[in-house]
Structure 1
Amino acid sequence: MLLRLIRWLTFGLIVLVIMLRLYEHVFTGDQATTLESARFALFDSFQAFKPRESQEYPVEVVDIDEESLRRLGPWPWPRQHLTKLINNISAMGPSAVVIYLSLADTDTMSPQHIARLLPPGDAFNSARERLSTLPDTDTALAAAIGAAPVVLGFVPSNNATGTEPSLKVPAASLQNANTGILLSFPVATNALQQLQDAASGYGSFPVMARGTTTVRQLPLFVSINKNLYPSLTAEALRVHANVDRYALSSHGPLPWLPGTTWLNTTKVAIGPLNIATDAATRFWLYFRWDNPFQHISAWKILAGKISEKRIKNKLILVGSSASGLSSRVTTPLGQSVPSIAIQAQAIESILGGTFLTREGWADLAEIIISVMLSLLLIRLLPVWGLPGCALLTLGLITVLYTVSWHAFSHAHVLVDPTFPSLLLLVTFLSQSFVIYVTTQTALVRTTWIAEHDMLTGCFNRRAWYDRVTPQTLHDSTATGGLIAILDIDFFKRVNDTYGHLVGDEALKHTVNVIENHIDENWLFGRLGGEEFGLFGPDTTGTGSPVEPGASSNETLETIRIAIANTPLLHNDLSIALTTSIGVARLTAGESLDSALGRADEALYRAKETGRNRIEFG
C-alpha cells in the first residue's frame, strides 16, 4: 500500500510539473514565470555567445544627443528646430522618417502661445497682434510632416484620460488578429491631431514584453479599447515598403479546441516582408552590439554636414540618447542602450531577415517531447538500472541543449530545452526514489523471510543461532545467562488426532503465549518441529523455579503455566497443551552447542519425570 502510494505521488509530481508549464501560458498573462525566466536566461546566453553580425542595413539613427542639446539648447526645442530637421532629412530622399519623440503637447514657444501669455492691457496689444499673425509652429511642423514619409507614435496608456489613435491603414487588413491575446490598453496618449492627420504612419511606441526589464520581444500590434493598432515598428516598415495595408494570418495546431489560441502563430506580411510572431504578434529580436558612434548627431543634419548618401532611400529614426530624454533598457547581451537603439535593431532584424523565430506550437511540442522522454525513462529504469539511466538522462539533456544551440545558430529558431530537461530530472529522481523504496522494501522482506519461521513468525533456527553468538554467551556469563529448550508435550498425538492443520495452529498458539511473556532481553526462535529455543539473562541465583524474586526462572515457569492454562480453541474444540522445558545455566567460556546439549538433557529428564515441568541441567 505504501509503495503504491509513493509511486502515485511520483507520477503526480511529474504531472504537476507539466501542469505548471501549461499554467504559465494560460493564467500568468504577461508576467515572466520561473520556468520562463530560465528559458530567457538560456536564450540570452545564446545571443551573448553569438550576437548578430553588424552589417549594412538601410536604417540610420538621427540622435538628438548631448552635443546637439549643447549647441541648440535644452529640450524641448522650439518647433522650428524639429521642422527644419524633418525638412533637411526629407530633402535627402529617405524612404521613411520615424519620429521617436512624443508630440502630444502644443509648442510652448510658438508665437500664438507667447501672445496668450502676455499681460492684458493696451500696452501689449501691438505685440500680441504681431505674434498672432506669425506662422503657427505646430502648423508648420504638420506641413513638414505631411510633405515627407513621416511616422509618428502614440503611447498606450492605462490612465483614465486619453483617446483612441488614428488608424492609417484599412481596418479590414487587421481583421485576422485576435485582440483578446494582444497587449491591451484602454486608451492612448496621442500626438496633436493635426500632426496625426499629416503623418503617413501612426503607431504605438514599443511596449516592454513579458514583464521584464530586458527587451527580448516587441509586439507588432496592440489593442486600444479592443481595437487593433500597429506598433511604431510595423508602421515604419509599412511606410518604408510603400504599402498601405497589412496582411495577417493566424494558425495553430489545435484550431478546433477552445482556449488554445496561445499556441497559434501569427504571420504578418508587410509588403515583401514576412514576420513570424506569436499569438500576441510579438517577435524575437536578434541583437548586435550597439555602437552609438555610428549614429548621426542631429546638429549635423541641421548644419548640413551630412551627405545625402547617408539618408537617401533609408529608414531614418529620429530620437534621443540624451540623459533625461530617453529611457535606457538592457539587451540580452547585457548592454544598456537607449530605447531608440532597440527600435533600430528591431527594424534591422526584420529587414535583414535575421529576427529569431519561435513557433506558437513549440510549447506544446516541447511538452509532448518531454512526456515521451519521461515515459521512455520510466520504462528503461527497471531494465537499465540507476547508473545506466543516469547516463541516459545526462545524454538526453546534452542532446536537447545541443539541438537548441544548433537551431539558434543555424536557423535562428528558438527551441527551449529547459522544460524537457527539468522533467527528465524530476522523472529520474522521483523514479529513482521509487526504485530505492522498492528495493529496500524487498530487502527488508527478503531478510525477514530468511530469518523467520514462515509458520509462526518467530526466528528460525539459523537466525536464532546467529544471534546467540559466542560473544553474546561470553557477555552473558559475566552477569549470568541461561539457555532453555521448550518442547510441546505429546505434539504427535495432536497431529494424529486432529490433523496437521490443527497442529500448525498449536505451534502458532504456543508462540503467541511465549511472546506475550518475554521482553526484549530474551531471544526466542523455533529450533525445529515442536521445539523452541530461549536465551536470556540468568537473574534467578540458585533458588527454586518458583522462588520469589527469581525473575528469569519465574518467567519460564510463568510461560509453562500460561501454556497449560490456555487451551487451543479451534472451531468447537478446546485442546489442552502442556510443555516441558530444559534449562542450562551458562558457565564462563562455554560454547553454545555445549549449553544446548545440557539443556537438551534437562528437557529429556523433564519428559521422563512426567512432562509439563522445568528441569535444570
Structure 2
Amino acid sequence: MAFPSMKRYYDPWLVRIRSLLKAAQGRPVALVVLFSLSLLNLSSEWPSDIARPAFVGALDEAVPDSFRTARQLLFDQYQRHFPRIPATQPVTIVEIDEETLATVGQWPWPRNRLADLVDAIAALKPLAIGLDIYMPEPDQTSPDKVAGNLPKTAAALAAGLRALPSHEAILARSLRAAPTILGAAALDHAAFTTSTDLRSAPILVHGADPLDRVQRYDYVLASLPELQAAAHGQALLSVTLEQGVVRHIPLIMGLGEKLVPSLPMEMLRLATDSSAIDVFADGSGVQAVGVADVQVPTQPGGDIWLHFASIRSTLNRYVSARDILKGTVDPQRIRNKLVLVGLTGSGLTDMRTTALGELVPGIEIQAQVIETIVDGRFLRRPTWLKWAESAFIMAFGLLIIWYVPRTHSRLALFLRAVPKGSALLGVSLHLLNVLFCFFIFIHLGLLVDAASIFIILSAVMGCFFAPALLRVDEQTGTQATHAERREDDNDRTGKAPGP
C-alpha cells in the first residue's frame, strides 16, 4: 500500500523536473550546469593570480575533492603511459641495505661508524654528499656516555674513556672535511627532539616575498647543533602526499619566518659552490627557484610536479654501503657525482608511492628531483593554463547549448539518421580531447586537465539527452496506460483481448 502513496508524492516533483528540462529545449538547465560545475572546478584549484573569494573557499570545503581526485588520477595516467627516461645519471645512492646491516651491524650505528662511511665516500671525490639521516640525540655508545654508566670502582677506566673524543666529535670532523649536507624533517607539531630553527644557507628573494605562498612548518627534527655546525649545508626532506601518493615536491619551504631549501636544491648549491639559492617570485607566488645558472620553473607554492622515471630504470644508481666500506666499489660511480646516503634495509626504509604506482624508498624521490633538474625535464601547470581550460570549457559549453537543441541543424539531422550517432560522436570528441592533452604532455610537459573538460561538457550534453529520454518515458507510459484501459474494458465486456 506504500507504493501508490510514494508515487503520488514523487509525481509532482517529476512533473516539475520534466517541465524544467523541457523549458526552452533544456538550455536554461544546461546553462546552470555549465556555470555551476565550472565554478566548482575553479574552486578545487583556484588560480593563484587573484585572491580567492570567501564563497569559493566555502564551496571547496563543502564539496572537497570535487574535481581534484579525477585530475590527479588523469595526471598519473599521463606518467604511467609516458614515464621519464633518464638521460643522465648525476646521482648515486649509497644505500644502507640488508647486506650492509648484516656485515656492519644493526641500525642505528655508532656515529664513529657513520663517520667511516662518510670518509670512505669523500675519498672517492663526489661533488656533494647528502645524508637522509636525522641525529637529534647524542650517541649513547659514545665514550663519555659509556663512562657515565660505569661503576665507581672503574674510575680509572671512566677517566680514560672521557679523554677520548665523543662520537659526535668524530662525525663532525668527517662532515667538516667533506662536502656534506644533513637532512631534516619538517613537522607541524612539537616533540621532545624538535626545534624551531635550522642552520641553512641564505635564500635570496627576487621580487615579492613568497613566504605566505609556500608550504610552512613551525618545527623541525634536525641533527645536533654540533653536527649542523660541521656540515656544509642543511635541508628539509619533507614531501607532499596526496591520498598517500607523491606527485609534487617542494623546492623551498617556510620554517617559522624564514625560507629553507629542500635537499635537491641544497645539493646543487653545494655542488656548484654557490653562496645562496635564488627565488624569483611575484604577487601570484613563486615563479622559479635557481642556483648558479640553473633555474627551475615552479608552481606558485614553490613546488614542482615531478615527472617520475620507473624504479626499474634507476636501479643502477644504487651502491651498497658495505661495498663502499670495503673499498670494492668502482670509483667512477662516486667521482663527480651527487651522492645521497639513505636507509633501504627492511623495516628501516621510508617507503613512498609515486604517481607511477611504484613503492620506492624516500631517498629515490630526492634523487629523481635532482635528476629531473639536471636533465631539464620539467612538468608544468602554470596559472594561465587553468584560465585557458576554463575559457575552453565555457566557450565549447556555450556552443553546445546554442547549437545542439536546433532541430534543423546538420547535427540534429545526423542524429536522427544514425540512431547511435550521439554516443559515437560523444566518445569520439572525448577521445580526441584526451589524446590532444596527452600529446601536449609528451611534447611540452604541460599538465592539461582533460578530466574536468570531459566531466563538465558531458554534463552539459546530458541536459539535452534528458528531455529525449523523458519523451520516450512518456510515450512508454502512455502506451502502458492505453493497454491497461483496453484490458479493463475487455474485463467488463467479457471479450477476449485483441491483438
TM-score interval (norm. to shorter): 0.7 to 0.9
In the alignment, which residue of structure 2 is the partner of 1:275? 296
Q: State the alpha-carbon separation in 1 of the partners of residues 146 and 207 from structure 2.
A: 46
Alignment of 1:557-596 (within 5 A): none
Cα gap change, 1:478/1:380 in structure 2, threshold over 3 Å: closer, same or farther?
closer
| Offset of residue 45 of structure 1 | 1.9
In the alignment, structure 1 residue 425 sits paired with structure 2 residue 458: yes
Q: State the alpha-carbon separation in 2 of the partners of residues 266 and 287 from structure 1.
A: 21
Please report the TM-score for the alignment, with normalisation by the length of structure 2: 0.80
In the alignment, which residue of structure 2 is the partner of 1:336? 359
In the alignment, structure 1 residue 298 sits paired with structure 2 residue 331: no
Secondary structure at 2:311 match in 1:
coil
In the alignment, which residue of structure 1 is the partner of 2:44? 24
In the alignment, which residue of structure 2 is the partner of 1:85? 117
In the alignment, which residue of structure 1 is the partner of 2:13? none
Cα gap change, 1:369/1:134 in structure 2, threshold over 3 Å: closer, same or farther?
same
In the alignment, which residue of structure 2 is the partner of 1:144? 174
| Offset of residue 398 of structure 1 | 2.4
Cα gap change, 1:392/1:247 in structure 2, threshold over 3 Å: closer, same or farther?
farther
Farther off after superposition, 334-343 or 64-73: 334-343
Cα gap change, 1:49/1:32 in structure 2, threshold over 3 Å: closer, same or farther?
farther
In the alignment, which residue of structure 2 is the partner of 1:104? 136
In the alignment, structure 1 residue 367 sits paired with structure 2 residue 399: no
Cα gap change, 1:173/1:179 in structure 2, threshold over 3 Å: closer, same or farther?
closer
C-alpha deviations, 1:42-86, integer Å up to 9, x for none? 222222222222443121000000000000000011111111111
| Offset of residue 13 of structure 1 | 2.3
Secondary structure at 1:247 match in 2:
strand
In the alignment, which residue of structure 2 is the partner of 1:601? none
In the alignment, structure 1 residue 153 sits paired with structure 2 residue 214: no
Larger Rg: 1
Secondary structure at 2:140 match in 1:
coil
Of 373, 396, 403, the residue aligned with 1:350 is: 373
| Offset of residue 392 of structure 1 | 5.1
Q: State the alpha-carbon separation in 2 of the partners of residues 154 and 143 from structure 1.
A: 20
Give the % identical residues: 29
Alignment of 1:209-248 (within 5 A): 209=241, 211-248=242-279
Q: State the alpha-carbon separation in 2 of the partners of residues 173 and 181 from structure 1.
A: 13
| Offset of residue 348 of structure 1 | 0.9
Greater relative CO, 1 or 2 (CA 8 Å, sep 6+):
2
| Offset of residue 419 of structure 1 | 0.5
Gaps of 5+ in 1: 256-260, 444-470, 480-617
| Offset of residue 135 of structure 1 | 1.1
Q: State the alpha-carbon separation in 2 of the partners of residues 348 and 190 from structure 1.
A: 25
C-alpha deviations, 1:481-512, integer Å up to 9, x for none? xxxxxxxxxxxxxxxxxxxxxxxxxxxxxxxx
Q: State the alpha-carbon separation in 1 of the partners of residues 177 and 131 from structure 2.
A: 14
Cα gap change, 1:100/1:176 in structure 2, threshold over 3 Å: closer, same or farther?
farther
| Offset of residue 12 of structure 1 | 2.1
| Offset of residue 314 of structure 1 | 0.7
Cα gap change, 1:107/1:174 in structure 2, threshold over 3 Å: closer, same or farther?
farther
Residue pair 1:100, 1:319 contacting (<8 A) in 2 also:
yes
Residue pair 1:187, 1:224 contacting (<8 A) in 2 also:
yes
C-alpha deviations, 1:209-257, integer Å up to 9, x for none? 4x32121111111122242211112212221222122222235xxx6xx
Q: State the alpha-carbon separation in 2 of the partners of residues 396 and 326 from structure 1.
A: 45
| Offset of residue 10 of structure 1 | 3.6
Alignment of 1:25-104 (within 5 A): 25-26=45-46, 27=57, 33-104=65-136
Q: State the alpha-carbon separation in 1 of the partners of residues 286 and 202 from structure 2.
A: 23
Q: Report the residue type matching 1:418 in the other structure.
A: A
In the alignment, which residue of structure 2 is the partner of 1:164? 196
Farther off after superposition, 45-54 or 191-200: 45-54
Q: State the alpha-carbon separation in 1 of the partners of residues 463 and 166 from structure 2.
A: 74
Q: State the alpha-carbon separation in 1 of the partners of residues 470 and 372 from structure 2.
A: 54
Cα gap change, 1:328/1:32 in structure 2, threshold over 3 Å: closer, same or farther?
farther
Residue pair 1:46, 1:408 contacting (<8 A) in 2 also:
yes
Residue pair 2:196, 2:220 contacting (<8 A) in 1 also:
yes
Alignment of 1:399-414 (within 5 A): 399-414=432-447
| Offset of residue 476 of structure 1 | 13
Q: State the alpha-carbon separation in 2 of the partners of residues 192 and 293 from structure 1.
A: 33
Q: State the alpha-carbon separation in 2 of the partners of residues 265 and 182 from structure 1.
A: 8
In the alignment, structure 1 residue 286 sits paired with structure 2 residue 307: yes
Residue pair 2:200, 2:260 contacting (<8 A) in 1 also:
no
Residue pair 1:95, 1:149 contacting (<8 A) in 2 also:
yes
Q: State the alpha-carbon separation in 2 of the partners of residues 477 and 400 from structure 1.
A: 61
Cα gap change, 1:32/1:219 in structure 2, threshold over 3 Å: closer, same or farther?
farther
Q: State the alpha-carbon separation in 1 of the partners of residues 455 and 492 from structure 2.
A: 61
Q: State the alpha-carbon separation in 1 of the partners of residues 147 and 34 from structure 2.
A: 73
In the alignment, which residue of structure 2 is the partner of 1:206? 238
Residue pair 2:205, 2:281 contacting (<8 A) in 1 also:
no
C-alpha deviations, 1:528-571, integer Å up to 9, x for none? xxxxxxxxxxxxxxxxxxxxxxxxxxxxxxxxxxxxxxxxxxxx
Alignment of 1:7-18 (within 5 A): 7-18=27-38
Alignment of 1:255-274 (within 5 A): 261=284, 266-274=287-295
Of 376, 383, 395, the residue aligned with 2:399 is: 376
Residue pair 2:308, 2:354 contacting (<8 A) in 1 also:
yes
C-alpha deviations, 1:192-223, integer Å up to 9, x for none? 111111222211112224x3212111111112
Q: State the alpha-carbon separation in 2 of the partners of residues 476 and 437 from structure 1.
A: 31
| Offset of residue 279 of structure 1 | 1.1
Residue pair 2:217, 2:255 contacting (<8 A) in 1 also:
yes
| Offset of residue 171 of structure 1 | 4.5
User: How many equivalent residue pairs?
Assistant: 437
Q: State the alpha-carbon separation in 2 of the partners of residues 234 and 165 from structure 1.
A: 19
Secondary structure at 1:418 match in 2:
helix
Please report the TM-score for the alignment, with normalisation by the length of structure 1: 0.65
Q: State the alpha-carbon separation in 2 of the partners of residues 428 and 304 from structure 1.
A: 68
In the alignment, structure 1 residue 127 sits paired with structure 2 residue 139: no
Q: State the alpha-carbon separation in 1 of the partners of residues 27 and 403 from structure 2.
A: 16
Residue pair 2:437, 2:449 contacting (<8 A) in 1 also:
yes
Cα gap change, 1:265/1:229 in structure 2, threshold over 3 Å: closer, same or farther?
closer
Q: State the alpha-carbon separation in 2 of the partners of residues 68 and 135 from structure 1.
A: 26
Residue pair 2:83, 2:307 contacting (<8 A) in 1 also:
yes
Cα gap change, 1:294/1:95 in structure 2, threshold over 3 Å: closer, same or farther?
closer
Secondary structure at 1:218 match in 2:
strand
Residue pair 1:213, 1:330 contacting (<8 A) in 2 also:
yes
Cα gap change, 1:39/1:328 in structure 2, threshold over 3 Å: closer, same or farther?
same
